[in-house]
């Protein structure tokens, strides 16, 4: 180190001093210390408004402690001593005040501190928030310890109090490269904008207080000097005669006099543009949409179609939850271990009661219901995913049964038989013939074998579909970009998300360059190949139905052709055209340029009518795999001379399956009827078939 560095290191009490720590902390290209000018930010409305929003919202999430079990599930520990301590940190305030102070210091300074006061058992007995400017982490004199102690300066002549690192909970916002012992304030990069807002406010307030300048100038017309006592008397008379309720009364002077208005145009006090910039950038730094806080800048720029619910959700995802995760991580490091191995666990924020995230919870519940009812997730997994307690009784799958068996002659059978007659009569199907128990058992064995093949086959097709749609999106982006650069002029951000006449030309040009005919052929080939894979798998299970496991060429060609027809039902051209119109309209509303709009086009082409490419591929893969299994079963059996089939349905039982599904379970239908029923099955269908050879 040079002499200047040595002097600075000695003054700061550290052995090694990184170069950045002795450089001037002034912002680039200015000699004004804006950080010093803005102070602690407590009196800055542009800062306190979003910070207060986070403080008000934070208590909606509930802090919990949980312990992971060997099987991957969690045991929640509602009586953990750390939770009790945080809820009642000391005799003078509770957890709401504790977290409010912590959030303020963390968001404004990047550092927040708690002091742990220990009981006679050496366990933490109290927690105290201290302002960030009173606490400083220090290393050892010889540089051997990164943080050897914390120096606390409470003020009021109390000197410096040293605390060991284990007695401090230090919440850091990342790491400040200028001093790695500290976190970096998220507002560090917008200090100048905060200063602008403060100065704008002070400027307008000064003008309003006294116009900032004299209201008028009164001077003798003949010139010369007026005695000071006359000036004072005239000023007092004018103030008394023409202010307050006497404003607007006529003025009559006893000698020639000039009276000139002198003031400020109120429009010159409009600082909204400068203040909008500060609002936008401060909120961006904190991850909070400006509209949520109530700032005019956010309300002006809110795009059409974005609701306040969506913005609140975004504020939680980008502004509140990242802070909560940092707090939980530090509690796991600095507080939870103090209570010993018996209370070992990890902090977790329960957001189930957060109003802004309820839509996510509803979607998660729907997803878990589908997974559990489909038989490919345990009840325990669903309960755990929704934050509910789990025990061994929940370690079960709700695997669908292919038939519902009830005692013969029971009331339930009569009820569902009546429903069967009603439904099949509407469909024009003869329901008098029903398979016997022995035939149903044989057919069920075949159906279960085919059902076990369904998931791996659908997974394989899902992967191929995702690659196809992703490639289609990439090619659409590549073809669209040069067209957009030459033919698309981005509008101002916030324009309505609507179609314009020029969109027709853009969409047509992109589709022509994309060459959808080639992609339709590829898509059809993908379906044909998948239907053949399914047909081969079904043939392997055919022995359980009394049919040879071979796959004759005519049958293979028929099944492959069925796959090609099914591919045609998914209109790639129509879906791509619709996706392009949607992408361009939304891109225009965001004021996007050619590159950003091309990226958006790729995403919309990939997802098609669905929300994501994953959802699109998975839905198609499951639907077409089930249909391919039914077609393969029917065509392979017909080639072996089978003319009738047993219908298996009603897998969820009374009260959960539709009556007509349960009613047709076990019925016997012709091959033609089976073809029609398979083609009419909905995307989440439960229908299966097995060959019927007669009761003999």
pLDDT for position 7: 52
Sequence-ordered list of residues with C-beta below 8 angstroms from that of 272, at least 6 positions apart, any chain: 296
pLDDT of 467 higher than 90: yes
Q: How far apart are CA 245 and CA 41, in angstroms?
A: 41
Best CA proximity match to 415, nearest among 591, 229, 650: 650
First to last CA, the chain: 100
pLDDT for position 422: 60
> What is the band of 304 on the pLDDT scale with cuts at 50, 70, 90?
very low
What is the CA angle 230-236-238, rounded to 5? 100
Q: Considering only 28-37, 422-431, 600-609, which range has the smallest mean pLDDT?
A: 422-431
pLDDT for position 399: 58
Q: How far apart are CA 170 and CA 130, in angstroms?
A: 11
What tokens does 327 get? 């707090």
| The most confident of 163-172, 247-256, 489-498, 545-554, by mean pLDDT | 163-172
| The most confident of 267-276, 291-300, 585-594, 621-630, by mean pLDDT | 621-630
Q: How far apart are CA 572 and CA 563, in angstroms?
A: 15
Q: How many CB atoms lie within 10 A of CB 151?
A: 14
Task: Give the pLDDT mean for 175-197.
Answer: 90
Backbone angles phi, psi at 652, to 5 degrees: -95, -5
**More confident: 294 or 25:** 294
Best CA proximity match to 55, nearest among 90, 89, 105: 105
pLDDT of 493 higher than 50: yes
Return the exposure string of 391-400: e unless at least 16 CB atoms fall within 10 Å of the residue's CB, then b: eeebeeebeb
pLDDT of 103 higher than 90: yes
Query: Looking at the whole model, is its pTM more than 0.75?
Result: no
What tokens does 691 get? 């060959």
* Residue 403 DSSP class: S
pLDDT for position 127: 95
Task: Give the pLDDT mean for 426-431.
Answer: 54
What tokens does 513 get? 């360059």
The answer to whether 687 touches 677, Cβ cutoff 8 Å, is: yes
DSSP assignment of 119-182 equals: -TTSSEEEEEEE-GGGEEEE--TTS--S--EEEE---TT---EEE-GGGEEEEESS-BTTBTTS
The overall average pLDDT reported for the chain is 80
Q: How far apart are CA 653 and CA 123, in angstroms?
A: 56
Q: How far apart are CA 284 and CA 190, in angstroms?
A: 10
| The most confident of 344-348, 411-415, 657-661, by mean pLDDT | 344-348
* Residue 382 DSSP class: H
Percent of the chain residues topping a pLDDT of 90: 27
Q: How far apart are CA 653 and CA 659, in angstroms?
A: 9
pLDDT of 115 higher than 90: yes
Q: How far apart are CA 662 and CA 423, in angstroms?
A: 11
pLDDT of 402 higher than 60: no
**More confident: 412 or 218:** 218
What does the radius of gyration of the chain's CA atoms come to, in whole angstroms?
38
pLDDT of 268 higher than 50: yes
Q: Which H, E and C letters describe 303-325, residue by residue? A: CCCCCHHHHHHHHHHHHHHHHHH
Task: Give the pLDDT mean for 381-410.
Answer: 62
**More confident: 112 or 273:** 112
Q: Considering only 95-104, 214-223, 527-536, 674-683, which range has the smallest mean pLDDT?
A: 214-223
The answer to whether 535 touches 628, Cβ cutoff 8 Å, is: yes
Percent helix / strand / coil, the chain, rounded to 5: 55, 10, 30
Q: In the chain, what are the domain boundaries?
A: 39-202+280-351, 411-692
Q: How far apart are CA 531 and CA 534, in angstroms?
A: 5
Task: Give the pLDDT mean for 239-254.
Answer: 68
pLDDT by residue (tens digit) across 403-412? 344 444 444 4
pLDDT of 432 higher than 70: no
Task: Give the pLDDT mean for 396-422.
Answer: 50
């Amino acid at each position: 180190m040079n002499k200047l560095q040595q002097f600075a290191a000695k003054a700061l009490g550290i052995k090694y001093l990184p170069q950045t720590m002795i450089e001037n902390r002034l912002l680039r290209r200015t000699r004004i210390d804006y950080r010093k000018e803005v102070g602690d930010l407590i009196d800055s409305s542009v800062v306190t408004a979003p910070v207060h929003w986070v403080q008000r919202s934070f208590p909606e999430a509930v802090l919990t402690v949980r312990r992971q079990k060997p099987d991957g599930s969690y045991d929640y520990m509602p009586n953990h001593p750390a939770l009790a301590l945080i809820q009642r940190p000391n005799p003078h305030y509770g957890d709401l005040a504790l977290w409010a102070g912590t959030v303020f210091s963390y968001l404004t300074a990047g550092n927040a501190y708690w002091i742990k006061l220990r009981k006679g058992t050496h366990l933490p007995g109290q927690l105290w928030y201290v302002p960030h400017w009173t606490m400083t982490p220090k290393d050892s004199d010889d540089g051997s310890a990164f943080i050897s102690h914390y120096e606390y300066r409470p003020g009021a002549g109390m000197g410096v109090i040293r605390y060991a690192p284990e007695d401090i909970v230090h919440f850091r916002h990342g790491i400040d490269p200028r001093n790695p012992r500290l976190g970096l304030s998220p507002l560090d990069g917008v200090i100048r904008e905060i200063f602008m807002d403060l100065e704008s406010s002070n400027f307008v307030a000064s003008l309003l207080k006294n116009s900032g300048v004299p209201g008028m100038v009164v001077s003798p017309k003949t010139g010369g000097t007026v005695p000071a006592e006359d000036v004072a008397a005239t000023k007092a008379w004018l103030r008394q005669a023409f202010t307050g309720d006497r404003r607007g009364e006529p003025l009559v002077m006893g000698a020639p006099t000039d009276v000139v208005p002198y003031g400020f145009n109120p429009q010159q006090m409009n600082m909204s543009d400068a203040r909008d910039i500060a609002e936008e950038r401060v909120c961006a730094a904190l991850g909070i949409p400006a509209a949520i806080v109530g700032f005019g800048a956010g309300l002006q720029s809110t795009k059409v179609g974005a609701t306040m619910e969506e913005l609140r959700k975004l504020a939680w995802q980008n502004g509140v939850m990242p802070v909560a995760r940092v707090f939980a991580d530090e509690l796991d490091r600095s507080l939870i271990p103090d209570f010993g191995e018996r209370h070992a666990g990890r902090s977790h924020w329960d957001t189930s009661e957060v109003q802004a995230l309820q839509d996510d919870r509803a979607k998660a519940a729907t997803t878990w219901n589908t997974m559990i009812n489909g038989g490919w997730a345990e009840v325990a997994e669903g309960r755990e995913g929704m934050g509910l307690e789990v025990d061994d009784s929940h370690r079960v799958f709700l695997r669908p049964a292919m038939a519902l068996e009830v005692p013969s002659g029971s009331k339930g059978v009569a009820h569902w038989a009546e429903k069967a007659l009603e439904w099949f009569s509407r469909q024009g199907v003869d329901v008098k013939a029903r398979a016997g128990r022995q035939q149903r058992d044989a057919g069920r064995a075949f159906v279960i074998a085919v059902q076990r093949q369904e998931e791996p086959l659908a997974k394989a097709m899902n992967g191929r579909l995702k690659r196809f749609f992703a490639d289609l999106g990439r090619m659409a982006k590549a073809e669209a970009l040069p067209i957009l650069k030459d033919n698309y002029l981005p509008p101002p951000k916030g324009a309505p998300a609507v179609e314009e006449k020029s969109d027709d030309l853009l969409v047509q040009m992109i589709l022509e360059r994309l060459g959808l005919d080639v992609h339709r052929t590829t898509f059809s080939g993908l379906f044909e190949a998948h239907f053949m894979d399914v047909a081969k798998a079904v043939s392997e299970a055919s022995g359980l139905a009394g049919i040879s496991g071979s796959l004759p060429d005519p049958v293979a060609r028929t099944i492959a052709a069925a796959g090609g027809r099914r591919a045609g039902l998914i209109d790639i051209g129509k879906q791509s055209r619709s996706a392009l119109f949607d992408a361009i309209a939304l891109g225009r509303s965001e004021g996007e340029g050619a590159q950003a709009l091309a990226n958006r086009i790729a995403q919309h082409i990939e997802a098609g009518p669905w929300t994501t490419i994953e959802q699109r591929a998975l839905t198609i893969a499951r639907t077409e795999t089930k249909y391919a299994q039914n077609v393969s079963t029917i065509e392979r059996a017909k080639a072996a001379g089978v003319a009738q089939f047993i219908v298996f349905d009603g897998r969820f039982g009374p009260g959960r399956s539709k009556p007509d599904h349960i009613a047709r379970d076990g019925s016997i239908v012709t091959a033609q009827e089976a073809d029609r029923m398979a083609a009419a099955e909905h995307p989440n269908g439960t229908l299966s078939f097995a060959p019927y050879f007669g009761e003999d």
